[in-house]
Amino acid sequence: NDELQDYRYDYSHLPAVLSFDEIRISRSYAFVYASPDSFMEILRSRDLNTIRSYFYGFSLKQRQAVTHVFMDMNASYATLVPELFPNVQIVIDRFHIVQLMTRAINTIRTGIQHLLDKHS
């Protein structure tokens, strides 16, 4: 798409607090980040090189001013975030913790149901 190829990112502002996540677009995932004030950007890929290249477009001074990144438990992000933002504190957001716990409980519940069905 020519429109996407001509797109230029805005490197003029990087908030002190960011939130990282992924969204599904067609058959792949894209990377999205936002601040408490506003939506910021969607990157076409969630791979680390794409994210790294994007954030290195901001000056070191801008990246050093980022104090908190809220994210899920993606281990790749956990290693990349301190590289990009030297003064950051990573916070695992509650939504993803609750989502993980709900999936675990449902897995256990369905396993027990199958066992009970076999013995009925």
| pTM for this prediction | 0.70
For the beta sheet containing 68-71, the strands, ordered from the edge strand earlier in sequence to the opposite edge, are 39-43, 28-34, 17-25, 68-71, 89-92
User: Quick one: pLDDT at residue 94?
Assistant: 66
pLDDT tens-place string over residues 37-96: 777 888 888 889 999 999 999 999 999 999 999 988 787 888 999 999 999 999 987 665
Domains of the chain: 2-93 (3.30.420.10)
